[in-house]
Structure 1
Amino acid sequence: MSFRFLLVVFLVLTNSTIFSQSQNVHIYICFGQSNMEGQGKIETKDTIIDNRFQMVQTIDCPNLGRKKGNFYPAIPPLAQCYTGLSPADYFGRTMIQKLPDSITVVVINVAVGGCDIRLFDKDLYTNYTKTYNESWFLDKIKNYSGNPYLHLIELTKIAQQKGVVKGILLHQGETNNGDINWPTYVKTIYNNVITDLSLDANLVPLLAGEVVHKDQGGKCAEMNSIIATLPKFIDNAYVISSNGCAIKDDKIHFNAKGYRELGKRYALKMLALLEN
């Protein structure tokens, strides 16, 4: 059997594998702080899903019967073991409702309540692992192997064995409220994700959600004017309005109804981008 024949067989098998893995499995990276973790009450209707909406489990959760790195139907919570409904939930549900039946949507949600955005900067993260020197915060970092960014990248590489990354969803800003350098921090993280996962920035948009609005009494509402500038820093970035999304009494977090609406808004923007 000639070397040339073996090489041809190898190339055919490799290309067919890549084709089968990437065509119909759409991966979405989700990261941020507590609103991306999800603080909404999970209701019965939120646990009934189509198996075309999948998740990659981000940490071991014995209470949920899930192991890190495995694929599961995307039944909330999608981040950690005891979080609630998040924007990622109804993002995925809306996507599969609108996309062809042949498409599966996979989300990977690594979020840390209370974190500074620079916790996801692979060169600076060690300066932000103790933003809150309390167990509720430190344990989350520990669960993500001490490095949430690297944890997210490693999980995404697992998912890339089955599909292709189509977009990145971000919800963060409360901890960085008023920091005009926030868009440059996000740009660094976005560029790192694109490079470390060998992605094409022209094909992988970043969708960033607003925090609770001023007209709803949002305690961090001034951050929205900074979030609005993100497309000036990243060509393929888009801002998702949270105006009118129902909120909790703390005026920082959305409630379940608000997360459902916000998730749909992320999805409708992503669907529009996919059509272009």
Structure 2
Amino acid sequence: MTMNRICLLLLFVCIGFSGYAQDKNFYIFLCFGQSNMEGNAKIEPQDTVNVNPRFQVMEAVDCPAINRTKGSWYTAVPPLCRCKTGLTPADYFGRELVANLPEKVRVGVINVAVGGCKIELFDKDHYEAYITTVPGWMKNFIKEYDGNPYARLVEMARLAQKDGVIKGILLHQGESNTNDTLWTKKVKVVYDNLMNDLDLKPRKVPLLAGETVNADQGGVCASMNKIIATLPQTIKNAHVISSAGCTDSADNLHFNAAGYRELGKRYATQMLSLLGYKPTASN
């Protein structure tokens, strides 16, 4: 066998292994935002049982106390953000998806969120200036992502792309940008950066943005929902997830556990529709 043929054979073998490693039926979703994506509600017993192993989370920070390592996949038993965060919309988003997608499909989420942050924290060109303005407790959360949550999200996403295919992005943010009329443009900067940095096609990767606690629950940031509603005018493949009727906690800023479960299912219903499925089962 000639050297050229040997090289070609090795090339085909490498391509074969690479193709095998990436499972086209492993649907990955990036989640980012502030405290309502981070997860503010206490995790209840019902949230830790019967989690289908087809629903996975890639840990974005090292969590030795719960035996998780940054960059590795685990069955998506909460917490799904950092080591001590609470229930998030991502929990029941993933559960609802696997309950309604074919058995061959797995779902993975990566959640990088920081309570209290403005969308500016995820702007890779201006985050450093923004961090100089935030309180010490928030800086401590940011340090868990080595000082750059956006870079950590991209780092984890690139790892995940070796295993599966990024199918969508979930955003829950806006409370700290309430009444900021430039918010939609700021979100577009982050979305466009993700598309470019991860070599994704916008028409294939929708952005699902959840409303803040609704006015029907006395939401203190409910006025922001009028701005969130305009996001599809700025990002063509953006979809707004209603929070109407999603119950909240006493602070009227965060959802309670029941509210997160319902909101997460609504994210899933929208995503299932975009994937060409109609929900029939619920988890």
Match of 2:197 in 1: 196
Displacement, 1:109? 0.1
Q: Any residues of structure 2 matched to 1:2-151 within 5 Å, and which?
A: 2=2, 3-4=4-5, 6-11=7-12, 13-15=14-16, 17-18=18-19, 20-48=21-49, 49-134=51-136, 136-151=137-152
d(CA) in 2 for partners of 1:129, 1:65: 30
Q: Which runs of 5+ in 1 are unaligned?
A: none
**1:205 & 1:19 partners in 2: Cα distance?**
26
Q: TM-score, normalised by structure 2?
A: 0.94
TM superposition shift of 1:6: 2.9
SS of residue in 1 equivalent to 2:15? helix
Q: Which amino acid aligns with 1:61?
A: C
Greater Cα offset, 253-262 or 12-21: 12-21
How many aligned residue pairs are there? Answer: 275
Confirm or deny that 1:241 pairs with 2:242. yes
Contact 2:154 2:198 in 1 (8 A): yes
Q: Which residue of structure 1 aligns with residue 208 of structure 2?
A: 207
**Range moving further from structure 2, 65-74 or 247-256:** 65-74
Which residue identity lines up with residue 273 of structure 2 in the other structure? A
Q: Distance in 1 between matches of 2:62 and 2:133?
A: 24
Q: 1:116 to 1:98 in 2, by over 3 A?
A: same
Deviations 1:83-107 (A, max 9, x none): 1000000000000000011111000
Question: Whole-Å Cα distance in 2 between the matches of residues 13 and 112 of structure 1?
Answer: 39
Give me the whole-angstrom Cα distance separating, in 1, the residues matched to 2:27 and 2:190.
21
SS in 2 for 1:63: helix
Is this contact kept in 1: 2:121–2:131, CA < 8 A?
yes
Q: Is the 8 A contact 2:92 2:264 kept in 1?
A: yes
Q: Provide the secondary structure at the position in 2 that maps to 1:242.
A: coil
- Maintained 8 Å contact 2:34/2:114: yes
Distance in 1 of aligned mates of 2:11 and 2:128: 43
3-state SS in 1 of match to 2:208 = strand
Contact 1:91–1:263 under 8 Å retained in 2: yes
Asked if the contact 1:46–1:75 (Cα under 8 Å) also holds between the matched residues in 2, the reply is yes
2:280 is matched with none
How far did 1:214 drift?
A: 1.5
Q: In terms of mean alpha carbon deviation, does 58-67 or 181-190 score higher?
A: 58-67
Distance 2:67 2:190 in 1: 32
Deviation at 1:215, TM superposition (A): 2.2
User: In structure 2, how many angstroms separate the alpha carbons of the residues matched to 1:270 and 1:180?
Assistant: 27
Cα distance in 2, alignment partners of residues 5 and 96 from structure 1: 43
Q: Provide the TM-score with structure 1 as the length reference.
A: 0.96
Q: In the aligned structure 1, how far is the partner of 2:18 from the partner of 2:8?
A: 15
Q: Deviations over 1:242-273 (max 9, x none)?
A: 11001001000000000000000000100000
CA RMSD of aligned residues (A): 1.4
Same amino acid, percent of matched pairs = 55
AA of the residue aligned to 1:257: A
Note if contact 1:116-1:131 (Cα within 8 Å) is conserved in structure 2: no
Rounded to whole Å, the distance in 2 between the matches of 1:186 and 1:11 is 41
AA partner of residue 258 (structure 1): G
Secondary structure class of the residue paired with 1:218: coil
Q: 1:175 to 1:131 in 2, by over 3 A?
A: farther
Q: Deviations over 1:169-212 (max 9, x none)?
A: 00000000000000000001000001100111110000000001
Structure 2: runs of 5 or more not aligned:
278-283
Is the counterpart of residue 159 in structure 1 residue 160 in structure 2? yes
Q: Return 141-150 or 62-71, whichever deviates more.
A: 62-71
CA contact (8 A) 2:21 2:162 kept: no
CA distance in 2, matches of 1:187, 1:224: 17
